[in-house]
Chain A
Amino acid sequence: MLNAKMELIAEKIVKRFVHFLVLKNISFKVSSGSAIAITGPNGSGKTTLVKILCNLMAPTRGQVVYQNNSQKINREDIFQYIGLVGPYLQLYQELSAQENIDFFARMRNLKNYSARVKQLMELFNLSGREHDAVKTYSSGMQQRLKYVCALIHEPEVLFVDEPRSNLDQAGIEAVYSILQEQKKDKILVISTNDQEDLTLADQIIRVGVA
């Protein structure tokens, strides 16, 4: 996947919950080497939009297209290209960190991932806790572990929903270094309320405001 030029295109996304229109005609386009931020007040549909972009939810109208060197990627293959970190995405609480990582890495058909995991675990300051069950982790540690799980396969498109939630200063710095790295030659999508996070982005999508 070297030098691959990925494109993520949203075409007129509309989402309706029962009688309430959450998203109204959202369109944008991002390609490798840039970052986009989704922002808006609470309950404005940021998370809904992220879920739609990741194919976790279908839009009421409109569509999301992933392109690799202007070749459309099939819906069932998209999961190989994306990574997502968000508060609504939980890890398996009963299993240990190592078991979680192994499960996700092997599900993605990765081999020889231990070096990368070791590096990520060090970066997020989780080394030494690999064999404890995730439920014994604090919320901040769980958040960091989610980053590890989402980054093992070096995703072409990384979605981050509320990057700062539950993190301390060191955690935020680690996340920022990752995000800077991601945006260099891949796609980064951040959904945030924080003004500071917006400086990372090349494009800003505001949802829920007239």
Chain B
Amino acid sequence: MKQIWLIFLKDIQQEFKTRYAINAIMLFAIVTLSAVSFSIGAYTATTRVLAALFWIILFFSSMSGLSHIFIREEETQTADTLKLVARPSSIYLGKFFFNLILLILLEVILIPLFIAIMNFKVVSFQIFLLTMFIGNFGLAGGGTMVAAIISKASTKGALFTVLSFPILLPVLISGISATRKAAESVKLMDAQNELQALLAYGVIIIVASILLFDFVWNE
């Protein structure tokens, strides 16, 4: 437990000094959002399209930043140093919490911007925020694990999106569906299926990652 917290703190400290991941992820989100907004123009898209666009922006922005945390360890050759002092599961969880915070920060910026620029009318904030909150666990859990895998491979950048897309697709599909429902209905029960799926996905992917992380990390 203590190790998880220490690794998390260390990554925050490092990030605070370089601001690499946070810059990459925020700029990516803002650039794609404005690109989407320009190309749509004054046309008001349906909630279905908007929900999909929102998740596509969220997904690809997180793809630009989530892998950084492991790639940095490999590229600065600190991975071995860390390996000498830490248990694998605490490394995974420490990095997972860091990515979780990164995603929450991204959403804090992205959600108000998206609602304002794209004229996205959320009827039930309860469903919307709950979707975001639960979805984050799945995104960060799967993303962190795939980041660990690709940090050991030779071509890192392009591979991350290729590998994480099939793994994170359930989050994307249920997330889009739940977001659409947030814009259409007020009752929480309407999005029950999606939220359950997101929750189950988050739990399973994190448990599987903790079990499998050993094999990625230990040579």
Contacts and interface: CB of A to CB of B under 8 A. Distances in A.
A56 B78 contact: no
Interface of B: 2-3, 6-7, 10, 13-14, 17-18, 76-78, 80-81, 83-87, 218-219
B154 to A, nearest CB: 13
A58 interface: yes
Interface residues of A, number: 26
A89 B85 contact: no
User: Chain B interface mostly helix, strand, loop or mixed?
Assistant: helix
Contact of A89 (B13, B14, B77, B219): B77
Contacts of B84: 54, 56, 79, 82, 84, 89
29 contacts: A51-B219, A55-B218, A56-B83, A56-B84, A57-B219, A58-B218, A79-B85, A82-B84, A88-B77, A89-B77, A89-B80, A89-B81, A90-B81, A91-B81, A92-B78, A93-B76, A94-B14, A95-B13, A99-B10, A103-B6, A104-B81, A104-B85, A106-B2, A107-B6, A107-B85, A107-B86, A108-B85, A109-B2, A133-B17
Contacts of B2: 106, 109
Nearest to A149: B81
A196 interface: no
Given A99-B13, A107-B3, A90 B78 contact: yes
A169 to B, nearest CB: 27
A95 B6 CA distance: 14
A76 interface: yes
A89 B87 CA distance: 17
B80 to A, nearest CB: 5
B10 A92 contact: yes
Interface of A: 51, 54-58, 76, 79, 82, 84, 88-95, 99, 103-104, 106-109, 133
Contacts of A107: 3, 6-7, 85-86
A207 B78 CA distance: 26
Contacts of B76: 90, 92-93
A189 B108 CA distance: 52
Contacts of B78: 90-92
B219 A58 contact: yes
Nearest to A108: B85
Contacts of A108: 85
Given A79-B83, A93-B76, 7 more contacts: A56-B80, A56-B84, A79-B86, A89-B81, A94-B18, A95-B13, A103-B10
- Most chain A CB atoms below 10 A, which of B78, B84, B85: B84
A108 B85 CA distance: 6
Contacts of B10: 92, 95, 99, 103
A48 to B, nearest CB: 11
A76 B14 CA distance: 26
B141 to A, nearest CB: 22
A92 B85 CA distance: 14
Contacts of A56: 80, 83-84, 219
B17 A106 contact: no
Contacts of A76: 87
A123 B83 CA distance: 27
Contacts of B86: 79, 107
B17 A94 contact: yes
Nearest to B5: A106
Contacts of B80: 51, 56, 88-89
B11 to A, nearest CB: 10
Contacts of B218: 55, 58
- Most chain A CB atoms below 10 A, which of B3, B17, B77, B81: B81
- Most chain B CB atoms below 10 A, which of A58, A84, A89, A95: A89
For the complex of A and B, 9 pairs with smallest distance between CB atoms: A90-B77, A107-B85, A94-B17, A57-B219, A89-B81, A90-B78, A94-B14, A58-B219, A103-B10
